[in-house]
Amino acid sequence: MSLAIICSWKAVGPCGKYLLMTKENWDIVIDPSSSSSKIQKIKQAWKYRDLLFLFVKRDIVAFYKQTILGPIWFFIQPIFTTAVFTLIGMIAALETDGVPPAVFYLSGIVLWNYFSEVLKQTGETFIQNRSIFSKVYFPRLIIPLSLVASHLVKFFIQCLLILAFYLFFFFRNGGFTPNAYLLLFPVLVLLIAMLGMGCGLIISAMTTKYRDLKFLINFSIDLLRYVSPIIFPFSIAGKYESVIAANPMSSIIEVFRLGLFNTEPSPNLWLYFLYTCIFAVVVLWGGFSIFSRVEKKFIDTV
């Protein structure tokens, strides 16, 4: 950025005083009211990819910095949650489609955790980073993208835990085998990221004015976990299957288990999956649009 200053001396009044006159010509003007297309915003974010990688590294390191167990914490939470769900499943005699309960529950917990953590932290983008946003300019979309990427690293690490449980029970008990639907795994991960980021962008725009909304969202996400096919399969949902499938994460979890365990799918599973794909695209586009409008003036309200 260059600044051209043209100076001239002009006499003012009978006393012969002089005033320094300046004229500023800027190459780039950063104006919150300026409009740009969504494609341009994405291209601008790509130019700042080095900053994106720095934020991802910061988030990962900060997660286990000054902790005794370090990265082991990535595994502790899903293991303990799986243990609790296994105990609940034994007490309630819940079906798991013939799959060992531990690996059945873990396969749903890891996917749900990625979605919920991206949604929660993206939903606090403006509030948590207001001090940075008020001092330094960079594309605001960088922060949500860095959260998606950093939690993706954590997600893949926890997928190694699923693989370890899977191989243990496969060689010990057998009774299940993977099938070709497991090749949809990259698509499932992309859909989870789109859902978490899209919903998070909408929530972040709303929480700039209504701070208590974040408490409602956290409660709702935790509650929604228990009406999702994490602790039970679609096969026991019965007449409530369509209600459970209204949660777009439900079909993602079911398709993932279908590929892992080759279980009997619901007759309507692929219809539910199509709904999830459409919902993910719509919510991401809508969230991006709302986020783009709010980022122009959010600093006045947070």
Nearest to 49 by CA among 146, 189, 118, 153: 146
- Average pLDDT rounded to a whole number, residues 174-178: 80
| pLDDT band for position 194 (cuts 50, 70, 90) | very high
| pLDDT band for position 273 (cuts 50, 70, 90) | very high
Percent of the chain with pLDDT over 90: 33
In this model, does residue 87 exceed pLDDT 50?
yes
* Biggest CA-to-CA distance, the chain: 102
Tokens 């926890």 correspond to what residue? 158
Average pLDDT taken over every residue of the chain:
81
Per the structure block, which two tokens stand in for 144? Answer: 């949500």
Hey, how many other C-beta atoms are within 10 angstroms of the C-beta on 275? 16
In this model, does residue 162 exceed pLDDT 70?
yes
- Average pLDDT rounded to a whole number, residues 239-257: 91
211 compared with 37, residue with greater pLDDT? 211
Is 201 in contact with 288 (CB distance < 8 Å)?
yes
In this model, does residue 191 exceed pLDDT 90?
yes
Spatial separation of the C-alpha atoms in residues 146 and 53, rounded to whole Å: 7
pTM of the model: 0.81
Hey, how many other C-beta atoms are within 10 angstroms of the C-beta on 152? 16
CA 101 to chain CA mean position, Å: 27
- Average pLDDT rounded to a whole number, residues 143-156: 90
- pLDDT on residue 2: 38
Residue 175: half-sphere exposure toward Cβ, Cα within 13 Å: 13
Where residue 149 falls (left for φ over 0; alpha for ψ -120 to 50; beta otherwise) is alpha
In this model, does residue 230 exceed pLDDT 60?
yes
185 compared with 54, residue with greater pLDDT? 185
In this model, does residue 270 exceed pLDDT 80?
yes
Partnered with residue 17 across adjacent β-strands are 12
- pLDDT on residue 27: 64
| pLDDT band for position 7 (cuts 50, 70, 90) | very low
- pLDDT on residue 16: 47
- pLDDT on residue 29: 56
Spatial separation of the C-alpha atoms in residues 102 and 164, rounded to whole Å: 11
276 compared with 52, residue with greater pLDDT? 276
- pLDDT on residue 121: 86
Per the structure block, which two tokens stand in for 214? Answer: 């974040």
In this model, does residue 221 exceed pLDDT 50?
yes
Amino acid type, 136: V
Spatial separation of the C-alpha atoms in residues 23 and 176, rounded to whole Å: 75
* Strands 3-5 and 17-21, sheet pairing: unpaired
In this model, does residue 244 exceed pLDDT 50?
yes
| pLDDT band for position 222 (cuts 50, 70, 90) | confident
Domain ranges of the chain: 36-300
Percent of the chain with pLDDT over 70: 81
